[in-house]
């Protein structure tokens, strides 16, 4: 067992951090966040430097590294800014499915442009208020000619404004689930944008699919096996949100500490007050716990031996810690923390957007318990 | 000992709820979006006698007690925290010191128009370098002829952009740390007074917060509250005490609003084929929230009752603020997190409560300051 990053990993981490330090301009961050705008030029630069899709195979524009290395990049980005970091983290949402289940042709067509920074991808699975609940999927697909017709509605889709294509989930008349790619320009695709309080650089919304036609080469994998793809997606994509959580927590801690070292009240620096020191100590514990859990999970994922119980435990603990850390960071800033010009203000809002993707305490505990003990049968 | 509001108080509660539903509720969304206080509301609420409720009849007020003030504060904050903030500062911090320590002439000049909502008040103590540490303010009032020249800047001032007068704390004798402070009433037209800028915040968007500047601002000595130089912070003692109890009522109202929203949410929302309200964990959660609201409400009323009897200590008031504002945070965080992505939407009522209510732990004495006060008064 080793608990140290390799030299290569440290280099990646440092390069990502230095890039973010240089490019994530504080005034630009406030402007993009308040206008709900995506950091276009930063995304282009990041992809030119290879920060998008490091875990893709080289033939598809990646560097053949692991999810762990991708996580290190997202963490470093979010440490510098939760908003831009998360925006860059989610430009290729759904690539998890392409990497694992798409054909060579499909990867060439849809994966490579993601790494090059030419395109963005998103996922449109959920139909109720809960993306994970795929039991209620009612988007219907019918065969027509050399392709398929899709009708349905998808809720709470991320990156609706910029994704060039959406991987969606639907079922046929035999109740078989399937995943397919719908390109943005397809006729019948209607996007309804929704403004949200956190991660405002990323668009969000509902999508109506009305008589959408897709050619059969847009079907990913086999019809009837999509439940497995979806599960793979949820597990692997969680690493993005966990990495965002970790970077955001670290960034909030760093800012809180820096402020406590400079702010003077009652003739002393805040850092000289025991209660403030203990707050920061508790935050430091949280960041370390988060990092250990998340790093282990990422390494398990790369080694393809992920324990679902550990996955849920990680999400539960990370969510809880993130809320505490960011909340305390804001508290250390006092009134200033409540003002938009202090980054901790949007760290607070972004935190809730990140948390929303980790699952609620109740459902995660349900999952952990079901894994540990005999699942309870649902009373009707 | 009795634990019930009397008939008169119950009627008052019912009446104010109806008034706020009719007059305030329809304005909330619009002014949250505009990010400004609905100024016209001052006159409307003034007509109902709901601004300076504790102000005696001889100055035009209804002369009610602290319990009644808590009743209306709870009801108003149930509808809008931002609007609640503007109204609270006007009726509390801005005018209470005048009522308690002002000359007869000053009371006759400022109170009746404030009661009617014709003149709007603000209160300016906090400075960029002096928040929790009120004695650390630097604004100076230098004696000159028949008055004082004020120089300094104030920040995080509620009603700052819309006020007609502002009660300002300044040192008349900077050599006496904490003791050499006086309160002055500065009028909007006074030369040398200016609103530097409006501040953007995490929440409380329907309340105006501003940075103010006093640049050689001349104030005749009749507008100093009290006759002697010094003792301004001591004059604030009862006002702050009353204000801290008010935070109990604010928290109760916000908790109540959150409960009502989350109650319908869990009854209407299905996950994995079943209503959330059928989940045991969720039922326990709502039971706990309901219990905590009751505790907050009665703890607040006890504080208000002690205040009305003239026996409330600062410890009593700080305990009310600390307990209620912290309990509220737990309620809001849980209510927010069980909604997942649905909670992120701009129109979602709970996310607004979360952003708005977060300020309660910061203003009018942070939670840390309340701990300090309580520990000191315990005799430690």
Query: What percentage of chain A exceeds 90 in pLDDT?
Result: 93
| A298-321 pLDDT tens trace | 999 999 999 999 999 999 999 999
Read off the pLDDT of residues B272-314 as tens digits, 9 standing for 90 and up: 888 999 999 999 999 999 999 999 999 999 999 999 999 999 9
The pLDDT of A345-351, averaged and rounded, is 98
Report the CATH number at residue A213.
2.40.110.10
Q: How many CB atoms lie within 10 A of CB A17?
A: 18
Q: Are B359 and A338 an interchain contact pair (Cβ–Cβ within 8 Å)?
A: yes
Q: What's the mean pLDDT in A49-63?
A: 97
Of A72, A96, A116, the residue at which a domain comes to its end is A116
Q: Does A134 share its domain with A92?
A: no
For residue A46, the domain's CATH number is 1.10.540.10
Domain shared by A214 and A231, yes or no: no
Written as six digits, the tokens of B168 are: 């300002």
pLDDT tens per residue, range A78-133? 999 999 999 999 999 999 999 999 999 999 999 999 999 999 999 999 987 666 77
Co-location of A97 and A184 in the same domain: no
Of B200, B271, B344, the CB nearest to A133: B271
Looking at the structure, tell me whether residues A189 and A307 fall in a common domain.
Answer: no
Give the one of A136, A264, A356 whose C-beta lies nearest to B344's C-beta: A356
Bridge partners of residue A213, in order along the sequence: A149
DSSP state for residue B125 in the 8-state scheme: -
- If asked whether residues A246 and A361 sit together in one domain, one would say yes
Residue ending a domain, among A86, A116, A146, is: A116
pLDDT of residue A1: 66
Same domain, A248 and A298: yes
Mean pLDDT of chain B: 97
Residue B225 has pLDDT above 80, yes or no: yes
Contact assignment for B202 to A341 by CB distance below 8 Å? no
A175 and A94 belong to one structural domain? no
Is A2 a domain residue?
no
Q: Closest by alpha carbon to A182, among A119, A124, A259, A261?
A: A124
Q: Does residue B129 sit at the A interface (CB-CB below 8 Å)?
A: yes
Tell me the shortest Cα–Cα distance from A12 to chain B, in angstroms. Answer: 32
CB contact, 8 Å: A129 with chain B? yes
The Cα–Cα gap between B376 and B3 comes to 30
Beta-carbon contacts below 8 Å between A and B: 118
pLDDT digits (tens, 9 = 90+) for A256-312: 999 999 999 999 999 999 999 999 999 999 999 999 999 999 999 999 999 999 999
Q: Does residue A379 form part of some domain?
A: no
- Asked if the C-beta of B177 comes within 8 angstroms of chain A's C-beta atoms, the answer is no
Q: CA-based Rg of chain B, rounded to a whole angstrom?
A: 21
Asked if residue A220 and residue A231 are part of one domain, the reply reads no
Exposed, middle or buried, B309 (CB in 10 Å: 0-12/13-18/19+)? Answer: exposed
Q: Give the C-alpha separation, A182 to A124, whole Å.
A: 10
Total of domains in chain A: 3
Answer yes or no: do A283 and A331 share one domain: yes
Report the 10 Å Cβ neighbour count for A270: 25
Q: Identify whether A150 is part of a domain.
A: yes
**A203 — pLDDT class (breaks 50, 70, 90):** very high
B214 CB contacts (<8 Å, ≥6 apart)? B139, B150, B151, B152, B153, B154, B168, B170, B186, B192, B193
pLDDT digits (tens, 9 = 90+) for B65-123: 999 999 999 999 999 999 999 999 999 999 999 999 999 999 999 999 999 999 999 99
Across the interface, do A130 and B368 touch by the CB < 8 Å criterion? no
Per residue in B172-193, pLDDT (tens digit) is 999 999 999 999 999 999 999 9
User: What range defines the domain where residue A142 resides?
Assistant: 121-224
Band the pLDDT of B3: cuts 50, 70, 90. Answer: confident
Q: With respect to residue A1, please indicate whether it lies within any of the assigned structural domains.
A: no
pLDDT on residue A131: 67
CB nearest B361 (choices: A133, A331, A341): A331
Residue B237 is predicted with a pLDDT of: 94
Select from B126, B270, B276, B341 the residue whose CB has the most chain A CBs within 10 Å, as the one to mutate to test that interface.
B341
Average pLDDT, chain A: 95
The DSSP result for B127-184, as a single string, is: BTTBSS-GGG---EEEEETTEEEEEEEEEEEETTTT-SEEEEEEES-TTSTTTSEEEE
Contact A136, B273 (CB under 8 A): yes
Task: Please indicate, yes or no, if residue A164 is contained in any of the structural domains.
Answer: yes
User: Helices marked H in chain B — which ranges?
Assistant: 7-23, 25-34, 40-47, 66-79, 81-89, 96-101, 104-116, 232-268, 280-309, 314-338, 349-357, 367-377
Q: What is the dihedral of CA A238, A242, A245, A250, to 10 degrees?
A: -160
Chain A stretch 278-317, residues whose beta carbon is closer than 8 A to a beta carbon of chain B: none
Question: Whole-angstrom Cα distance, residue B59 to residue B77?
Answer: 26
Same domain, A233 and A204: no
How would you write chain A as a 3-class SS string?
CCCCCCHHHHHHHHHHHHHHHHHCCHHHHHHHHHCCCCCHHHHHHHHHCCCCCCCCCHHHCCCCCCHHHHHHHHHHHHHHCHHHHHHHHCCECCHHHHHHHCCHHHHHHHHHHHHCCCCCEEEECCCCCCCCCHHHCCCEEEEECCEEEEEEEEEEEECCCCCCEEEEEEECCCCCEEEEEEECCCCCEEEEECCECCCCCCCEEEEEEEEEEEEHHHEECCCCCHHHHHHHHHHHHHHHHHHHHHHHHHHHHHHHHHHHHHCEECCEEHHHCHHHHHHHHHHHHHHHHHHHHHHHHHHHHHCCCCCHHHHHHHHHHHHHHHHHHHHHHHHHHHHHHHECCCHHHHHHHHHHHHHCCCCCHHHHHHHHHHHHCCCCCCCC
Task: Please answer yes or no on whether B339 and A353 come within 8 Å at the CB atom.
Answer: no
Residue A106 lies in a domain: yes
Indicate the residue among A201, A224, A247 that finishes a domain.
Answer: A224
The DSSP call for residue B122 is E
Residue A342 in this model has a pLDDT that exceeds 90: yes
Rg (chain A; Cα; Å): 21
Instruction: Answer whether residue A161 is part of any domain.
Output: yes
- CA distances B125 to A190, B92, B111, Å, are 52, 14, 20
The pLDDT of A201-230, averaged and rounded, is 96
pLDDT at B1: 64
Which CATH number does the domain housing residue A362 bear? 1.20.140.10
A203 within some domain: yes
Question: Can you give the pLDDT at residue B271?
Answer: 87
Is residue A208 domain-shared with residue A231, that is, in the same domain? no
Model pLDDT, residue B356: 98
A379 pLDDT more than 60: no
Residue A380 has pLDDT above 60, yes or no: no
Judge if A193 and A275 occupy the same domain: no
């Amino acid at each position: 067992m080793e608990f140290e990053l390799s030299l290569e990993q440290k280099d990646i981490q440092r390069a990502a951090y230095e890039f973010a330090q240089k490019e994530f301009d504080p005034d630009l961050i406030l402007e993009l966040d308040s206008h709900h705008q995506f950091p276009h030029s930063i995304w282009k630069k990041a992809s030119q430097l290879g920060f998008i899709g490091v875990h893709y195979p080289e033939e598809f524009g990646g560097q053949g590294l692991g999810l762990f290395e991708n996580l290190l990049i997202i963490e470093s980005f979010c440490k510098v800014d939760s908003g831009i970091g998360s925006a860059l983290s989610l430009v290729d949402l759904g690539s998890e499915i392409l990497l694992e289940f798409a054909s060579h042709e499909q990867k060439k067509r849809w994966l490579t442009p993601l790494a090059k920074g030419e395109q963005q991808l998103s996922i449109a699975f959920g139909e109720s208020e809960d993306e994970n609940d795929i039991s209620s999927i009612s988007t219907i697909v019918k065969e027509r000619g050399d392709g398929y017709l899709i009708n349905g509605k998808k809720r709470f889709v991320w990156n609706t404004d910029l994704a060039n294509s959406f991987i969606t989930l639907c079922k046929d008349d035999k109740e078989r689930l399937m995943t397919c790619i719908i390109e943005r320009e397809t006729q019948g695709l209607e996007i309804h944008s929704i403004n949200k309080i956190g991660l405002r650089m990323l668009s969000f919304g509902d999508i109506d699919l009305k008589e959408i036609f897709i050619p059969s080469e847009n079907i990913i994998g086999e019809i009837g096996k999509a439940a497995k793809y979806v599960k793979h997606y949820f597990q692997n994509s969680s690493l993005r949100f966990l990495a965002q959580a970790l970077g955001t927590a670290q960034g909030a801690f760093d800012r809180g500490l820096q402020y406590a070292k400079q702010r003077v009240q009652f003739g002393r620096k805040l850092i000289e007050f025991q209660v403030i020191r203990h707050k920061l100590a508790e935050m430091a514990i949280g960041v370390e716990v988060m990092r250990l859990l998340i790093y282990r999970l990422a390494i398990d994922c790369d080694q393809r031996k992920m324990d679902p119980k550990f996955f849920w435990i990680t999400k539960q603990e990370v969510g809880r810690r993130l809320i505490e850390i960011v909340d305390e960071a804001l508290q250390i800033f006092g009134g200033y923390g409540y003002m938009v010009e202090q980054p901790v203000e949007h760290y607070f809002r972004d935190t809730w957007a990140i948390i929303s993707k980790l699952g609620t305490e109740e459902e995660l505990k349900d999952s952990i318990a079901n894994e540990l003990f005999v699942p309870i049968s649902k009373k009707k | 000992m009795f634990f019930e509001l009397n008939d008169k108080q119950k009627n008052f509660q019912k009446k104010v709820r109806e008034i706020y539903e009719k007059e305030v509720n329809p304005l909330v969304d619009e002014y949250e979006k505009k990010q400004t206080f609905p100024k016209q509301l001052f006159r409307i609420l003034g007509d109902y006698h709901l601004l300076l409720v504790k102000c005696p009849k001889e100055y035009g007020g209804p002369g009610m007690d602290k319990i009644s003030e808590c009743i209306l504060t709870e009801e108003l904050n149930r509808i809008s925290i931002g609007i609640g903030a503007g109204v609270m500062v006007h009726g509390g911090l801005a005018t209470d010191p005048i009522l308690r320590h002002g000359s007869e002439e000053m009371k006759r000049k400022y109170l009746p128009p404030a009661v009617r909502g014709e003149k709007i008040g603000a209160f300016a103590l906090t400075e960029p370098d002096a928040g929790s540490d009120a004695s650390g303010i630097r604004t100076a009032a230098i004696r000159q002829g028949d008055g004082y020249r004020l120089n300094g800047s104030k920040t995080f001032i509620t009603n700052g952009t819309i006020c007609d007068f502002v009660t300002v704390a300044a040192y008349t004798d900077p050599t006496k740390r904490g003791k050499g402070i006086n309160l002055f009433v500065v009028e909007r037209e006074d030369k040398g007074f200016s609103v530097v800028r409006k501040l953007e915040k995490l929440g409380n968007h329907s309340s105006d917060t501003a940075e103010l500047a006093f640049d050689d601002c001349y104030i005749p000595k009749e507008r100093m509250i009290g006759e002697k130089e010094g003792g301004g912070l001591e004059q604030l003692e009862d006002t702050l005490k009353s204000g801290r109890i008010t935070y109990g009522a604010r928290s109760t109202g916000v908790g109540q609003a959150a409960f009502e929203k989350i109650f319908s949410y869990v009854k209407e929302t299905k996950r994995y084929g079943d209503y959330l309200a059928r989940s045991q964990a969720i039922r326990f959660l709502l039971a706990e929230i309901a219990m905590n609201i009751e505790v907050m409400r009665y703890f607040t009323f006890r504080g208000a009752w002690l205040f009305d009897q003239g026996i409330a200590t600062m410890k009593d008031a700080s305990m009310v603020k600390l307990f209620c504002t912290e309990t509220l945070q737990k309620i809001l965080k849980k209510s927010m997190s069980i909604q997942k992505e649905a909670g992120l939407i701009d129109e979602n009522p709970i996310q607004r409560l979360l952003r708005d209510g977060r300020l309660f732990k910061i203003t009018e004495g942070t939670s840390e300051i309340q701990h300090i006060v309580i520990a000191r008064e315990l005799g430690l």
